[in-house]
Copies of this chain bind each other. A is one copy, B any other.
Amino acid sequence: MCIFLVAAARLRVLLASAAGALDQKNMTHTLNPASPDFAATLASALPDGIIETASAGYLEEPRGRFKGQAGVLAKPRSTEQVATLIRLAHEARVAVVPYGGGTGLVGGQVMPDGPTPLILSLERMNKISAIYPEENVLVAQAGAILADIQTAAETADRLFPLSLAAEGTARIGGNLATNAGGTGVLRYGNARDLCLGLEAVLPNGEIWNGLTRLRKNNTGYDLRHLLIGAEGTLGVITAATLKLFARPAVTGTALLVVDSPAAALALLGMARSLFGEMVSAFELIHKQGFEFLSETMPEVRQPFDTPPEWSVLIELGLAKGMDPQAGLETLFEQAAEAELVTDGVIAQSSAQAARFWTIRESIPEANKRIGSISSHDISVPLGAIPTFIAQAGETLARMGEFRINCFGHVGDGNLHYNVFAQAGRSRSDHDSQRDEIKSAVHELVDSLGGSISAEHGVGRFKVSDLERFADPAKMGAMRAIKAGLDPHGIMNPGAVLR
């Protein structure tokens, strides 16, 4: 009898751990708040000045949808300090929210509910550690500002092609954690395509040193690509090896008026048959974008007296000895003959090219000033773009009267499809329709084989959209990976996976 009792007691312990495993499968974890005691534990394990209380800036995100809780803020100076922080959080079952430049658009950087987290800012780890121009490689800490990396590359007569509106504030660790896109994707790929190696702290506090400068390395599972795009839920990126490129010797920029999105795609095909990979950017602009600019930012100079229904901003980055002006003229002539373009302006100077880019890059700010009812960062297969734009327009027309600003990286199949109230009305007039609009757009995207988050990620904003539209087998695999790497669920809880 006595023996049985002892055995039963032992078994009870194992039962508890088996039950723990089951909990992990359902992704429910009991986390503890980042209490003053926990903060004191962190402070005593680290040099002075690393631990503080999070100020308001760390609790906000650009779109104002989420408000973080005031938690403990850590500003480590080294990878080892990050490892200490994560290890202690892992042991204490405290949530960790990695924080880069804070520019993410889906709330991945703020945790609005649950036990107060440890906010881990990489801002002090902002060094560009090394440049190897002859290897086309740059090594940076995760907190390095994207624009600083671009400048460092330029100083070495190289190009780091990741380029996006927030580049003056965004940090490379965040760019990688969210697999950022932007205007350079057409030619150079997404953030993940620009990364050769990573250093990261895994959820158990171990440092993974994968900071290689290798172009080829087939030694087991690619953790780099798993952490890139995982939005801080599988570990904290602390440094990265990045690919650089030869700067195009000469560039040419034009704004060409096209009849339709289909004509824009045909024009892209024509440009590529002429210039191959040297087509650097190909951005679609709708009349609505010009009109919003006139309305909210009249200081932005516009090249057309009457804004065209559809136009594209095209940039060529050519090799030595090539003539971009002549190249764009050839393209224009061929495209005009094929009735793809009806009008256009070829930049005659770099100042004029910069003005074209200012138009494109001011559109998001103009949108913000108008205030959308619902914004969508979607992608569809290239060939489905005309269908998407036509059908989305028809669907919305059945739901009411809206202004639609559809623009973006059409060469990547990535459109920012933003829906606004009519002039004179307010977006709050349409509050009750917001979910219906979003659903209708996302369902159409899904039916065309597209993605409900092309470049911004899932964060907290699109968790339920992901659950609705993602392949169930993929969701199961994601949960298994998360449970395997982060058994206590401390890393950025609530982001990507519920």
Task: Please list the residues of chain A having a beta carbon within 8 angstroms of any beta carbon in chain B.
Answer: 1, 4-5, 7-8, 11-12, 14-15, 17-18, 21, 132, 134-137, 178-179, 181, 185, 189-190, 192-193, 202, 204, 206-210, 212-223, 225-226, 228-230, 234, 245-246, 248-249, 265-266, 269, 272-278, 317, 319-320, 322, 379-383, 409, 412-414, 449-458, 462, 466, 469-478, 480-481, 483-485, 496-497
Nearest B residue (CB) for A457: B218
B481 and A208 form a contact (CB under 8 A): no
Q: Which of B18, B137, B219, B381 contacts A21 (CB 8 A)?
A: B18
B471 and A181 form a contact (CB under 8 A): no
A471 and B209 form a contact (CB under 8 A): yes
A133 to B245, CA, bound (A): 27
> What are the residues of chain B within 8 A of A229 when measuring CB–CB?
218, 220-222
A320 and B457 form a contact (CB under 8 A): no
Given contacts A190-B216, A230-B221, A273-B246, contact A319 B132 (CB under 8 A): no
Measured CB to CB, the closest approach of chain B to A399, in angstroms, equals 25
The 3 closest A-B pairs by CB, nearest first: A225-B225, A484-B484, A480-B484
- Residue among A15, A218, A457, A496 having the largest count of chain B Cβ atoms under 10 Å: A218
B478 and A485 form a contact (CB under 8 A): no
A216 and B181 form a contact (CB under 8 A): yes
A458 and B226 form a contact (CB under 8 A): no
Given contacts A473-B206, A484-B484, A485-B480, contact A274 B219 (CB under 8 A): no
A319 and B275 form a contact (CB under 8 A): yes
A228 and B222 form a contact (CB under 8 A): yes
> What are the residues of chain B within 8 A of A469 when measuring CB–CB?
219
A207 to B472, CA, bound (A): 9
> What are the residues of chain B within 8 A of A210 when measuring CB–CB?
471, 474
A202 to B478, CA, bound (A): 12
Measured CB to CB, the closest approach of chain B to A201, in angstroms, equals 9
Measured CB to CB, the closest approach of chain B to A303, in angstroms, equals 27
A51 to B117, CA, bound (A): 54
18 A-B pairs whose Cβ atoms sit less than 8 Å apart in the complex:
A17-B18, A179-B222, A207-B473, A213-B413, A213-B449, A215-B413, A216-B454, A217-B454, A218-B455, A219-B462, A220-B229, A220-B458, A220-B497, A274-B319, A276-B278, A322-B322, A483-B484, A484-B484
A451 and B214 form a contact (CB under 8 A): yes
B380 and A214 form a contact (CB under 8 A): yes
> What are the residues of chain B within 8 A of A483 when measuring CB–CB?
484
B11 and A216 form a contact (CB under 8 A): no
Nearest B residue (CB) for A463: B220
Measured CB to CB, the closest approach of chain B to A459, in angstroms, equals 10
